[in-house]
Amino acid sequence: MRCGKMAPFVLLLCLILVPSCYSLPLCMDQSYPKKINSSLAFCGYSDKACCSAADDLAIQNQFTTMNISDAACADVMKSILCAQCNPYAFQLYSKSKNYPVLCNNNLVNSSSPSNSTTDFCTETWNTCKDISIPNSPFGTSNGSPSKLSDSYKGASDFCSTAGGSATDQTVCFNGGMSVGFNDTQPAPPPQGICLERLANGTYTNFVPHPDGSNRVFLGTQSGKIFLATVPPQGSGKTLDFDLTSPFIDLTDLVHYDNEFGLLGFAFHPNFLTNGRFFVSYSCDKSKSATCSGKCSCNSEINCDPSKLGSDNGALPCQYQEVIAEYTVNDSSASPSTAKTANPAEISRVFTMGLPYNNHHAGQIFFGPADGYLYLMMGDGGNSGDPWNFAQNKKSMLGKTLRLNVDIVPTNADIDNLTLWGNYSVPKDNPYFTDPTFRPEVYAYGFRNPWRCSYDAERPTYLFCGETSENTYEEINLITKGGNYGWRIYQGYDLYFPPWAPGPNISADSIDPIFPVSGYNRSIVNNNLGSAAIVSGYVYRGNTDPCLYGRFVFGDLYANDMFTSAETPRGSGNFSRDRITFTCSKNSPIRCDFTGKSSLPSLGYIFSFGQDNNRDLFYLTIKGVYRVVRPSLCGYSCPLESNVPPSAPPPSPGQPSQSSLSLKLEMSVILVLTCLYVLLGLRF
């Protein structure tokens, strides 16, 4: 997935106008294609594939039993059987588990074009229609020999079932190892991003209300969460919330200092009925009796806490990462109308002692398709991850963890599985049955992932920022079982730690997934000599149509903003553009400008947010900013005149139209998932 290094056969079909198409390279179980040492003997795939040598042999045996008499048809059927090894197998099999979607109607280009104008679906029909094929993937369910012409009236009938095209919004298989894709180029990057300032104050967390209304939750690093109402675009109003009445106040529990504090919160997928939500924060066990958990440096990973030494006066594991469950059901009969939460903890879901004072990450969120709780953990701190926690398969540091908070194990289960709290482990976690791994691990090899978000219209795309040690700031797409390289790699380059008392792992022993976007620290605009990426969102609002579909991110220390566009769409290959920005003269709160500069001074950018209308927000040290119409800042966007006027905000408890659409998309995704899963903060 390195930019510009995509294998020529891993290109796919994806319609620009369709929101919920899948195009991230994924295998049938939603894992990232694995590196293979040599070409598959039968199917021929090399470098990255969704099949092992054993899978390849099984496909060969399946093909042999088909005993196809016609050589040309045999070649076609072989390539169709081998499509399950294609790096885009998850998408190719979106219509059927028996065969990939075949390119038809001549509406797509091919990564391996031929001189023939016949599309692959029609070619399959013409070649095999009258050939008897035992156990045909397109045949009868009882496995008896069949011809395509026995089941279909003609090419059109066959391809309406087995084929796919741009109008179907499906990835399609084009024979051999090639995949079809729509080659429509993305629009040029917008002239700039126009902002308005909606609130003063410093907030580091932003979560839309689960009811789809025009309300959001703002969290401070010190431990307070506020419920705020977002004003309509163009209203000239500010965020409406009461600083004297927080939704919940956890400042007595939260240890707040530099990279410590309230790190994230997430609402249960069924919050509107059960009122459950979860908070991730740091605590100090020297000051809190409830701050008590197992040290992340322990005998299970052959780590001795006494060898870590003190860190700025703190003892190893004095500070802990906590996930706690809370509820609103005691404060309101309806979770949607609750304005405050019960400050009493319901359950201690997770607690882990931290080895050092930085690289804790700590964001939590629920997967939109699976409903499990994800926790992003940094490598635990110090320069260069000296103990190599990120690559240690038994360590919980430097990992994406995936937990089931709906099924709570017994105390005996917790003891037997050495769990870190009151949760269970999803059985489809990639390493659930691997004794060399912690079963909670979903992905690993992270230094300090700061802020992750799903693309609201392509929920297999999970973007996460990754702060570097000293060179390349990363944007990664997180996939099931993926290894993101740290501390062996920093960006695309090998990294050599200055101090490495812990075990070393060679670059040849891992199969890293490289960033899809990012930037080298040398390009950022600041005088601090430092940088730290802050991951944002794929913009899916309708306020700035020229920004639509681009991933927006920035840098914590600098007035720098970037966008990335997938080119071609669906390839996993992203361009990157630095983009200018300014503030609207109609901003409800006047923006700060430095000298004669046209760029407003945002100070530190801590995070981004997206509300239920999919408008984009910046959380900075100087306040909360929202993306508004580009013309308000003098930027030209030819598509802006086509944007309909903003609808009045829904009342509390009434879902927005975007929320309803998303729920419909989620339902489709959930069905597909059920079929195919048998997926720093640096201050």
C-alpha distance from residue 391 to each of 234, 328, 418, 445, 485 (Å)? 49, 39, 20, 5, 8
CATH code for position 438: 2.120.10.30
DSSP annotation string for 498-524: S---S----GGG--BPPPSEEEEGGG-
- Taking CA 250 as the corner, what is the angle to CA 249 and CA 254, rounded to the nearest 5 degrees? 150
Are residue 123 and residue 42 in the same domain, yes or no? yes
CA dihedral 573, 578, 583, 588 (to 10 degrees): 30
- Given its phi and psi angles, is residue 52 left (phi above 0), alpha (psi -120 to 50 degrees) or beta? beta
Higher per-residue pLDDT: 598 or 490: 490
Question: Is there a single domain that holds both residue 169 and residue 217?
Answer: no
Same structural domain, 197 and 53: no
Q: How confident is the model at residue 188 (pLDDT cuts 50, 70, 90)?
A: confident
Does some domain include residue 3? Answer: no
Taking 60 as the threshold, does the pLDDT of residue 679 lie above it? no
Report the alpha-carbon distance of residue 426 to residue 33 in Å, rounded.
Answer: 21
Segments forming the whole domain that contains residue 49: 34-181
Question: Do 175 and 209 share a domain, yes or no?
Answer: no
Which of these ranges, 146-160, 316-330, 668-682, has the smallest mean pLDDT?
A: 668-682
Q: Is the pLDDT of residue 384 over 70?
A: yes
User: What percent of the chain has a predicted confidence (pLDDT) above 90?
Assistant: 68
For 308, 559, 618, 629, the CA distances from 584, given in Å and listed in that order, are 50, 17, 15, 9
pLDDT digits (tens, 9 = 90+) for 157-166: 999 889 875 4
Q: Kindly tell me if the per-residue pLDDT of 642 is higher than 90.
A: no
Residues 502 and 394 in one domain: yes
- In this predicted structure, the answer to whether residue 676 has a pLDDT above a threshold of 50 is no
Of residues 400 and 525, more confidence is placed in 400
The structure tokens listed for 261 are 């504090």
- Cα–Cα separations (whole angstroms), residue 599 to 194, 201, 539, 594, 673: 10, 20, 21, 7, 44
pLDDT tens column, 464-476: 999 999 999 999 9
Tokens of 493: 């380059």
44 contacts: CB under 8 Å, gap ≥ 6: 82, 177
The number of folded domains in the chain is 2
pLDDT at 19 over 50: no
pLDDT in tens, 343-359: 999 999 999 999 999 99
The answer to whether residues 249 and 336 belong to one domain is: yes
535 near 553, Cβ under 8 Å? yes
CB 78 within 8 Å of CB 63: yes
How far, in Å, are 163, 220, 265, 280, 488 from residue 248 at the CA level? 53, 11, 11, 13, 41
Tell me which of 71-85, 259-273, 548-562 is least confident. Answer: 548-562
Closest CA to 361 of 348, 371, 374: 374
- Domain membership flag for residue 188: no
Say if 5 falls within a structural domain: no
Segment 177-183 shows an average pLDDT of 80
Phi, psi of 260 (to 5 degrees): -105, 160
The SS3 call for residue 394 is coil
- Looking at residue 165, what DSSP letter applies? -
Distance between CA atoms of residues 621 and 641, nearest Å: 33
Check whether residue 249 and residue 122 sit in a common domain: no
The whole-number pLDDT of residue 644 equals: 59
Has residue 276 been placed in a domain? yes
Final residue of a structural domain among 181, 202, 219: 181
pLDDT band at 11 (very low <50, low <70, confident <90, very high): very low
Q: Indicate if the pLDDT at residue 139 is higher than 90.
A: no
Q: How far apart are CA 59 and CA 70, in angstroms?
A: 19
Tokens of 425: 């482990």
Does the pLDDT of residue 70 top 90, yes or no? yes
For the chain, what's the residue count?
683
C-alpha span between 507 and 347 (Å, rounded): 41
Mean pLDDT (the chain) is 86
Clarify whether residues 174 and 202 are in a common domain: no
Residue 133: C-alpha distances to residues 103, 120, 557 (Å): 21, 18, 63
pLDDT category, 140, cuts 50, 70, 90?
A: low
Looking at the fold, whether 433 and 397 belong to one and the same domain comes out as yes
Indicate if the pLDDT at residue 299 is higher than 80. yes
Spatial contact of 523 and 531, defined as CB atoms under 8 Å apart: no
Let me know if residue 465 belongs to a domain.
yes
User: What gap in Å lies between CA 342 and CA 321, rounded to an integer?
Assistant: 21
Closest CA to 16 of 127, 137, 182: 182
In single-letter form, the type of residue at position 294 comes to K
Please state whether 420 falls in left (phi above 0), alpha (psi between -120 and 50) or beta: alpha
Q: Is pLDDT of 596 > 80?
A: no
Whether 678 is in a domain gets the answer no
Assess whether 333 and 452 both reside in one domain. yes
Calpha distance 75→597 (Å, rounded): 64
Tokens of 400: 């994406």
Nearest CA-CA partner of 308 in 385, 233, 219 = 385
The radius of gyration computed from the CA coordinates of the chain, to the nearest angstrom, equals: 26
CA distance 682 to 531: 9
Distance CA 360, CA 331 (A): 32
In angstroms, how far is CA 437 from the centroid of its own chain? 22
Structural domain contains residue 296: yes
Q: Among 125, 159, 181, where does a domain finish?
A: 181
Q: Give tens-digit pLDDT for 197-251.
A: 999 999 999 999 999 999 999 999 999 999 999 999 999 999 999 999 999 999 9
Instruction: Give the single-character DSSP code of 656.
Output: P
Cα 594 versus chain centre, distance: 35
Tokens of 378: 């940094």
Does one domain contain both 176 and 238? no
**pLDDT tens profile 478-508:** 999 999 999 999 999 999 999 899 888 999 9
User: Does 29 map to a domain?
Assistant: no
For 624-650, what is the mean pLDDT? 82
Spatial distance between the Cα atoms of 365 and 264, rounded to a whole number of angstroms: 8
Q: What is the mean pLDDT of residues 553-559?
A: 89
**166 vs 63, 182, 574, CA distance in Å?**
30, 7, 21
Does residue 566 or residue 628 have the better pLDDT? Answer: 628
3-state secondary structure of 349: strand
**Once rounded to an integer, what is the mean pLDDT over residues 4-24?**
34
Residues 46 and 131 in one domain: yes
Picking from 276, 302, 301, the residue whose alpha carbon sits closest to that of residue 422 is: 276
Dist. CA 390–CA 385, nearest whole Å: 7
Query: Is pLDDT above 70 for 370?
Result: yes
Strand partners, 347: 325
Over range 379-407, report the average pLDDT. 96
The pair phi, psi for residue 239, each rounded to 5°, is -60, 140
Among the candidates 127, 153, 181, a domain finishes at: 181
What are phi and psi for residue 82, nearest 5 degrees?
Answer: -75, -10
pLDDT score of 528: 62
